[in-house]
Amino acid sequence: MKTLLTSNLKQANITQNEDESLEAILPAKLNEVQQFECMLLAADDKNKRLVRVLADQDSCAHLGKFCRGTMRSVMTNHLMSLHSIKGQKAKLPFRETLLYKVIMKAAKKAFGKAHKEHEIMFEMGEVLRNAPNQPGGSNYKKVNKIAFIF
């Protein structure tokens, strides 16, 4: 009887996990960190679900690719361009946000003990460092290319 109950619970958890997606938890990319912080503080269950979905979403062999994909799927480029890891040069410190903790937990879950915390933090810093020069960033300048036809 006990094994029947545990197998039914495991089956229910499997079907529940298959239905979860990033769009179900986060309908749109974040434009402000405060939106995310309020959402996570309201429900601790969402925090765990988001970590699980992010860890399963971009599981790949390269940590840098994982961090780029995860951060770009959750945040807009404008939001990333306003942050740096430590908050230098009049930017907001990303290390102090709940979003940092969620992405860190997702990376640890996806890679296990293969990468240390400072390696994950370095890759997140690289994404934040390059964000202002990407489309949507605060420093992005669109270059008009004119084709000359003779």
Reading the chain (150 residues) residue by residue, the pLDDT tens digits are 344 333 433 433 443 445 577 777 777 777 777 776 776 676 667 778 888 888 887 557 788 899 888 888 888 888 888 889 998 888 889 998 888 999 999 999 998 888 899 999 999 999 988 887 777 666 667 777 776 666
Q: What are the residues whose beta carbons fall under 8 Å from the beta carbon of 91, sequence distance 6 or more?
A: 82, 83, 84
d(CA 142, CA 79): 19
* Token pair 């964000």: residue: 131
| Residue 116 Ramachandran class (φ > 0 left, ψ -120 to 50 alpha, else beta) | beta
Alpha-carbon distances of 119 from 6, 63, 82, 134, rounded to whole Å: 38, 9, 22, 23
Q: What is the pLDDT of residues 50-87, one digit of tens each?
A: 888 888 875 577 888 998 888 888 888 888 888 899 98
Q: Which helix (H) or strand (E) holds 93?
A: strand 92-93
Which pLDDT does position 89 carry in this prediction?
85
